[in-house]
Amino acid sequence: MGRLQGYRPIGIFGGILVGLSLSTVVAGPQTAAVPRPPETRRDEVREVLHGVEVIDPYRWLEDAWSPETRAWIETQNAYTRLFLDADPARETLRRRVARMLRVDTVSLPIVRGGRYFFLKRRADQDQPVLYMREGPTGPDRVLIDPHTMDPAHLTSVSLLEVSRDGHWLAYGLRHGGEDEVVVRWRDVGTGRDLADGLPKGRYFGIALRPDKAGFYYARHTPEGPRVYYHAMGTDSSQDVEIFGQGYGPDKIIGIDLSPDGHYLLLTVYYGAGAQQTEVHYLEVPSAGSQGPDSFTVRTLVRDVPARFLGEFGGSTLFVLTNWKAPKGRILAVDLRNPGPPDTWREVIPERDAVITGFTLAGRRLLVQYLENVVSRVRVFEPDGRLVREIALPTLGSVTGLQGEWDRREAFFAFTSFLIPPRIYRYDVATGRRTLWAAVRVPLQPDRYVVQQVWYTSKDGTRVPMFLVYPRDLRRNGQNPTLLTGYGGFNVSLTPTYSTMAALWVQTGGVFALANLRGGGEFGQAWHEAGMRDKKQNVFDDFIAAAEWLIAQGYTRPERLAITGRSNGGLLVGAALTQRPDLFRAVVCGYPLLDMIRYHKFLVARYWVAEYGSSDDPTQFKYLLAYSPYHNVKPGEKYPAVLFVTGDADTRVDPLHARKMTALLQWANASDRPILLRYDTKAGHVGALPVRQQIEDLTDELLFLLGQLGVPVR
């Protein structure tokens, strides 16, 4: 535990009307084929950056809480509902979505003191509930039910840490989709919360001492990440800062405490999707010696341009790194006599497949590989000898892998496009795999085909893509096709279950997932080929995927839709502005779109290492060249677009979607709608009640199917 874990009354203001007039006159090119969007005031802020004049007509929409912006949001939502609520197929589709989402779900368990702690949501519930089970097969006991805390069911619970004896646990409470949580501690035996806790904030790890005298935690502050020690029974205002001075808000610090409580590992990430990390550690002092001068931090890695991620195995730290190994290798260092990295023992050398992660269990290493974007898991002795490969059900993804050095029991989750998550309990000593839990949905996988194809991008690079479609599909250019991707932050998109994908193929369509550069599918070189000044490669890969689907007869532009969220929202935003002729409809969720100002808001300094910053004159040029907001052309015929965001997105500022909606509505010369669904409760993390998830997914499917001319039967 303690690892990085993995966001008013309104009237009439400033000439913006609350409510809609379909005869509203819009300043800018429009057609009369669809109801005109509401008018948005243009206020062309002009500034010169590095000798280039940049015009920003909707900067006033950056102020989320001004009365004018709130009125604008309400008007935009009303305009969007005009399209989405009037469709007579909505109720039929909503029932279909509900059947897929109203199912039992369960998380991987954390085992402490013979107790199994996990989250489970019944089909009739809106939020997961935190449970405990005595032994692997004992009865489930409810520990924390967030439904009792919030009648609107907007509060969700997360499991953050459990004491070694299984008697205490730390849990987080999140409202809506915010990244921030309130941290509380609970005594499992009494069912009561302790007086200790942490205020609402963004935390990157919590680690309890084995003697339960106190805990360590990492937190984001306006100055940068900091690590603190909290002594149980004291107020959090008295917590001792032990690490982090000098690190700015572009850094992240994760912590991990060795199971025996002897060592605290401190990993400094140089931004999200870090290209570089620092690794430090300290020998934990006794409970009575926790003053500011009691902590001596020792450095293992600094100023090495690579990633180092450690796991404790007794006094040995096993480290996954891409240092001198772009596809990853695992080293071992004895913390009693560490030495520099070039003296560490290599346990698992680099291979053709990418090492994406590992865990320790039963005094062995369980190493997760990605081979041509498909998961493999192999078990090794600490000296690197191969024990066996874990058999997986089919082509798919291991989405969780966890164990403990001194326990022979490990858990992992397996999923594929048409297989919802299954959780397996694995005996490291015998190799026996048993099903611990499974999600069951009304879907018949044998009716569909899962296929991996390769296509050629603009510069000749070969790129893989997964296709999912009905077995009886004909390549006649008429199939409704939904293409998605991500392409950033070293994130690999592997075959995983998606309710959207399952519903899409049930309509008879093709679901396509492209493994773009910028991800981690083929190691660090693949990631770097889609970063900073090479970001255009990501968009070229995506556009080439669309062109391949058309050339191969799967679809045509009028039947092709794209969707993406977060960095994927930037992806589809760039695609729709660079090739508006190629797509019929776009769902763009929680997106980055103004790449000139993105780094000025919320926690976006984390992403400068990935994208660059307009503060730098060289980086400014390539950011301006692709920034979707700055590449909208008046009079262009754009595809239909549904932007999705919400006030509770405390990661990617909703201003991006607000500004882009206004600009596209003004510039668009096609008869296709530009819509904004703005939820005052939703955020980047999700965590909305299932009933709201049903409504939201219904909106997106209804929009896409309607624009592609697909009837809902």
- Using alpha carbons, select from 266, 332, 258 the residue that is nearest to residue 298: 266
Mean pLDDT, all residues of the chain: 93
CA gap 185, 181 in Å, rounded: 13
117 Cβ contact partners less than 8 Å away, ≥ 6 residues apart: 109, 110, 111, 130, 131, 132, 143, 159, 162, 166, 169
Maximum CA extent, the chain: 76
Instruction: Tokens for 133, please give them.
Output: 């089970």
Q: What is the mean pLDDT of residues 279-287?
A: 90
Burial letters 194-205, b for 16+ CB under 10 A, else e: eebbbeeebbbb
Residue 211 has pLDDT above 60, yes or no: yes
Q: What is the mean pLDDT of residues 611-634?
A: 98
Residue 370's beta-bridge partner residues? 354, 375
What's the confidence (pLDDT) of residue 151?
94
CA gap 428, 443 in Å, rounded: 32
What's the confidence (pLDDT) of residue 425?
97
What's the confidence (pLDDT) of residue 44?
84
Task: For 335-353, write each residue's pLDDT tens digit.
Answer: 999 999 999 999 999 999 9
Instruction: Tokens for 480, please give them.
Output: 């409704």
DSSP structure string for 692-711: HHHHHHHHHHHHHHHHHT--
Mean pLDDT check: name the lowest of 14-23, 220-229, 344-353, 376-385.
Answer: 14-23
Q: How confident is the model at residue 33 (pLDDT cuts 50, 70, 90)?
A: low
Residue 30 has pLDDT above 80, yes or no: no
Give every strand in the sheet of 345-348, ordered side by side: 308-313, 316-321, 329-334, 345-348
Three-class secondary structure of residue 380 per DSSP: strand
Task: For 509-555, write each residue's pLDDT tens digit.
Answer: 999 999 999 999 999 999 999 999 999 999 999 999 999 999 999 99
What's the confidence (pLDDT) of residue 27?
33
Q: Could you tell me the sign of the dihedral formed by the alpha carbons of 300, 305, 306, 309, in that order?
A: positive
Q: What percent of the chain has pLDDT over 70?
A: 94
Question: What is the phi/psi pair of residue 233, to 5°?
Answer: 90, 5
Tokens 């965001």 belong to residue: 645
What's the confidence (pLDDT) of residue 274?
86
Quote the radius of gyration of the chain (alpha carbons, Å): 26
Q: What is the mean pLDDT of residues 216-243?
A: 95
Counting runs of H as helices and runs of E as strands, what totals does the chain give? Answer: 10, 39
Task: For 384-432, write each residue's pLDDT tens digit.
Answer: 999 999 999 988 999 989 999 999 999 999 999 999 999 999 999 999 9
Task: For 253-270, write each residue's pLDDT tens digit.
Answer: 999 999 999 999 999 999
- Using alpha carbons, select from 355, 506, 523 the residue that is nearest to residue 442: 506
CA gap 44, 50 in Å, rounded: 19
Residue 18 has pLDDT above 60, yes or no: no
Q: What percent of the chain has pLDDT over 90?
A: 89
308 near 267, Cβ under 8 Å? yes
What's the confidence (pLDDT) of residue 176?
86
Give the DSSP letter of residue 541: H
Residue type, position 283, single letter: E
CA gap 580, 575 in Å, rounded: 7
CA gap 674, 76 in Å, rounded: 10
Residue 10 has pLDDT above 70, yes or no: no
CA gap 533, 514 in Å, rounded: 21
CA gap 668, 661 in Å, rounded: 10
Give every strand in the sheet of 510-514, ordered side by side: 448-456, 462-470, 510-514, 481-484, 560-565, 585-589, 640-646, 674-679
Provide the CATH number for the domain formed by 45-98+443-708 in this structure.
Answer: 3.40.50.1820
Residue 168 has pLDDT above 70, yes or no: yes
85 Cβ contact partners less than 8 Å away, ≥ 6 residues apart: none
Give the DSSP letter of residue 139: P
β-strand 510-514 against 481-484: which pairing, if any? parallel
Q: What is the mean pLDDT of residues 358-384?
A: 97
What's the confidence (pLDDT) of residue 292?
67
What's the confidence (pLDDT) of residue 285?
87
What's the confidence (pLDDT) of residue 713?
80
CA gap 607, 618 in Å, rounded: 17
217 near 225, Cβ under 8 Å? no
Residue type, position 678, single letter: Y
Task: For 98-120, write each residue's pLDDT tens digit.
Answer: 999 999 999 999 999 999 999 99
Q: Which residues are catalytic?
A: 566, 684
**Helix (H) or strand (E) segment spanning residue 596:** none
For 602: left if phi > 0, alpha if psi spans -120 to 50, otherwise beta; the answer is left
Residue 7 has pLDDT above 60, yes or no: no
Distances (CA, A) of 541 to 450, 488, 610: 21, 12, 18
What's the confidence (pLDDT) of residue 290?
64
Question: What is the phi/psi pair of residue 310, to 5°?
Answer: -110, 155
CA gap 444, 214 in Å, rounded: 50
- Using alpha carbons, select from 478, 490, 637, 480 the residue that is nearest to residue 553: 478
- Using alpha carbons, select from 593, 585, 539 the residue that is nearest to residue 562: 585
Q: Could you tell me the sign of the dihedral formed by the alpha carbons of 629, 634, 640, 645, in that order?
A: positive
What's the confidence (pLDDT) of residue 3?
36
DSSP structure string for 291-340: STTS--EEEEE-S-SS-EEEEEETTEEEEEE-TT-TT-EEEEEETTS---
Q: How confident is the model at residue 288 (pLDDT cuts 50, 70, 90)?
A: low
CA gap 574, 484 in Å, rounded: 13
What's the confidence (pLDDT) of residue 289?
67
Cα angle 512, 443, 396; round to 5: 50
What's the confidence (pLDDT) of residue 294?
76
What's the confidence (pLDDT) of residue 24?
28
Q: How confident is the model at residue 681 (pLDDT cuts 50, 70, 90)?
A: confident
Annotated domain spans of the chain: 45-98+443-708, 107-198
Task: For 648-670, write each residue's pLDDT tens digit.
Answer: 899 999 999 999 999 999 999 99
Task: For 47-93, write each residue's pLDDT tens digit.
Answer: 999 999 999 999 999 999 999 999 999 999 999 999 999 888 999 99
Residues in the chain: 713
CA gap 353, 344 in Å, rounded: 22
Residue 674's beta-bridge partner residues? 641
Give the DSSP letter of residue 652: S
Q: What is the mean pLDDT of residues 568-574?
A: 98
- Using alpha carbons, select from 510, 497, 506, 563 the residue that is nearest to residue 712: 506
Task: For 576-597, write each residue's pLDDT tens digit.
Answer: 999 999 999 999 999 999 999 9
